[in-house]
């Protein structure tokens, strides 16, 4: 139990550091939020869905405190932060085509919600090139996310917990 609390605390601290970097590094904030989103998958893999929800809630609450741009916090909370949980639910004994359909549907629903929330705060141009770029970027993000999960399961977990096996 104590290793769970310690490891979870370290992951949450790393998450907060990454979210704080969105204030310091004005470019690539989406990349940084994408990195931060990977950590919820570790919590889900190690301790299950309920712990993943608790981690997500903690990361969103702390993100609200440390992220200067509340529009970026909204983007993180509704997309990147929750994606590990959504991915966990979607990738259950389905064909890969159904999985991708569901993931792209989730991404598009969230981007529409974000558009309507954020359009009053920031100007968001919409055209076919931006929409197509979003679709491609999301598929790449999901592929990288899946690759990270595989890498964690096959390599990182063994290195991190080699004394506990």
Per-residue pLDDT of the chain (165 residues; tens, 9 = 90+): 678 888 899 999 999 999 999 999 988 899 999 999 999 999 999 999 999 999 999 999 999 999 999 999 999 999 999 999 999 999 988 899 999 999 999 999 999 999 999 988 888 888 889 889 999 999 999 999 999 999 999 999 888 777 654
Exposed/middle/buried for residue 122 (C-beta within 10 Å: 0-12, 13-18, 19+): exposed
Residue 99's pLDDT is 96
> At residue 160, what are phi and psi to the nearest 5 degrees?
-70, -35
What is the sign, positive or negative, of the torsion defined by CA atoms of 84, 75, 105, 131?
negative
User: CB-side exposure of 127: number of CA atoms within 13 Å?
Assistant: 2
Does any domain span residue 121?
yes
* Domain assignment present for 29: yes
The neighbour count for residue 28, using CB atoms within 10 Å, is 12
User: Could you tell me the residue range of the domain that residue 133 belongs to?
Assistant: 2-160
Nearest CA to 90 out of 63, 69, 109 is that of 109
In a domain, 165, yes or no: no
Assess contact for 87 and 99: CB atoms under 8 A: no
| 31: in domain | yes
Enter the pTM of the model. Answer: 0.90
Cβ burial, residue 102 (10 Å; 0-12/13-18/19+): middle
Count the domains in the chain: 1
Whether 17 is in a domain gets the answer yes
- 135, with CB counted inside 10 A (0-12, 13-18, 19+), is middle
């Amino acid at each position: 139990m104590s290793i769970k609390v310690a490891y979870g605390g370290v992951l949450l601290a790393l998450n907060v550091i990454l979210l704080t970097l969105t204030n310091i590094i004005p470019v690539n904030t989406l990349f940084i939020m994408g990195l931060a989103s990977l950590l919820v998958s570790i919590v889900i893999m190690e301790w299950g869905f309920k712990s993943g929800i608790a981690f997500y809630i903690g990361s969103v609450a702390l993100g609200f405190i440390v992220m200067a741009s509340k529009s970026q916090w909204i983007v993180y909370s509704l997309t990147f932060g929750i994606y590990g949980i959504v991915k966990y639910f979607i990738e259950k004994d389905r064909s890969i085509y159904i999985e991708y359909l569901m993931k792209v549907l989730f991404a598009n629903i969230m981007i529409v919600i974000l558009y309507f929330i954020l359009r009053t705060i920031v100007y968001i141009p919409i055209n076919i090139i931006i929409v197509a770029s979003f679709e491609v970027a999301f598929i790449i993000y999901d592929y990288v996310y899946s690759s990270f999960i595989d890498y964690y399961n096959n390599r990182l977990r063994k290195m991190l917990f080699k004394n506990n096996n």
